[in-house]
Amino acid sequence: MPDRPALENDSFGPLESAVIRATPLGGENEDVRMASLQSDILRSSGGTSSPIGPGRTLVDVARSLNPSRGEFSKPYDFYDFYEPYFSPLRERDIRFLEVGVYEGESTKVFSRYFERGSIVGIDLQIRDIDFRGFKNVTYLKANQTDGDALSKIAVDYAPDGFDIILDDASHVGYFSLLTFLHVFPRLKPGGIYIVEDWGTGYWNTWPDGGSFQRFPVESYQGEIPKRLISHDHGMVGFVKLLVDIAAGGDIKGEGPFPNLGPHPFQSMNVYPGTVVIRKSER
Ligand SMILES: C[S@@+](CC[C@H](N)C(=O)[O-])C[C@H]1O[C@@H](n2cnc3c(N)ncnc32)[C@H](O)[C@@H]1O
């Protein structure tokens, strides 16, 4: 368990984030098993005719970049899991925004995997990362809560919108919400938005997390309880807010963020530790 990161009072300024990982993907989850299975099929079928080699999956790329060290800061399960989402885009000139670079390991994997695409990696702290040999990477200092900075990055590096946005930065709910509100409108129709490590909301060691709270069902007399109150700390509250956005037309009148339009999400898949949203084509 990492030390609790320092959170500056009353500002959305620097949050020194340790590398954290919530529940690793894999194990019993059916969808994750499906994703792994699809990636196995890809591998055994020779995969695509990519210039980086047939059948080279994200995990293959991760292994080849660092053969001696074993797993990267992002466990291989994550790459296996992303394979079916990413492989249809692999040959395209995509725009990928990675929020939270740390030592650049995942950024390098995405760079090699999407050789025809461009990766913009942002972080609050710029580290001495050797990105020579990764010419399609742009590494920038930016706070994930800074709307002006995020807008400028989008205009400069993805004027037609991002194809993939991955938030693996502070894992603080309000910060991730701000990032989402700033950059989701910059995602192309049909694009993919990923939130990693939302389980920090269940950690009482995390700045905005808290031990799981079981709320009693509101008492009722002959009536169905209307409210089933649930744990909503930090990233967990953020993910549950995303569910309100996924509700689309079932919310009569204004939804939580009317500027996102009436049907922002085509789908929202919630997995242990990770959420994958597909933006509506409309
Ligand atoms: C979990 S690490 C990223 C790991 C990387 N994506 C990987 O898989 O190798 C989180 C990173 O987010 C950065 N970070 C924390 N708070 C941030 C913020 N408010 N804005 C931007 N980056 C932030 C930290 O400096 C850290 O490098």
pLDDT tens digits, 152-162: 999 999 999 99
CATH of the domain at 179: 3.40.50.150
Decide if 106 is inside a domain. yes
pLDDT at 101 (0 to 100): 98
Digit-coded pLDDT (tens) for 106-119: 999 999 999 999 99
Decide if 53 is inside a domain. no
pLDDT at 96 (0 to 100): 98
Decide if 185 is inside a domain. yes
d(CA 160, ligand 1 centre) in Å: 25
Decide if 36 is inside a domain. no
Q: Is the CB of 143 under 6 A from ligand 1?
A: yes
Domain hosting 155: range is 93-279
pLDDT at 51 (0 to 100): 44
Q: Is the CB of 58 under 6 A from ligand 1?
A: no
Whole-model pTM: value is 0.84
51 and 117 Cβ atoms separated by less than 8 Å: no
pLDDT at 55 (0 to 100): 63
Query: Candidates 11, 96, 101, 127: which one to mutate for ligand 1, based on the most atoms within 8 Å of Cβ?
Result: 101
Decide if 37 is inside a domain. no
Q: Is the CB of 82 under 6 A from ligand 1?
A: no
Decide if 161 is inside a domain. yes
d(CA 170, ligand 1 centre) in Å: 6
pLDDT at 54 (0 to 100): 52
Decide if 5 is inside a domain. no
Q: How many domains is the chain partitioned into structurally? A: 1
Decide if 3 is inside a domain. no
- Residues in the chain with pLDDT values less than 50: 1-51
pLDDT at 222 (0 to 100): 80
pLDDT at 205 (0 to 100): 97
Query: Candidates 3, 19, 66, 140: which one to mutate for ligand 1, based on the most atoms within 8 Å of Cβ?
Result: 19
d(CA 168, ligand 1 centre) in Å: 6
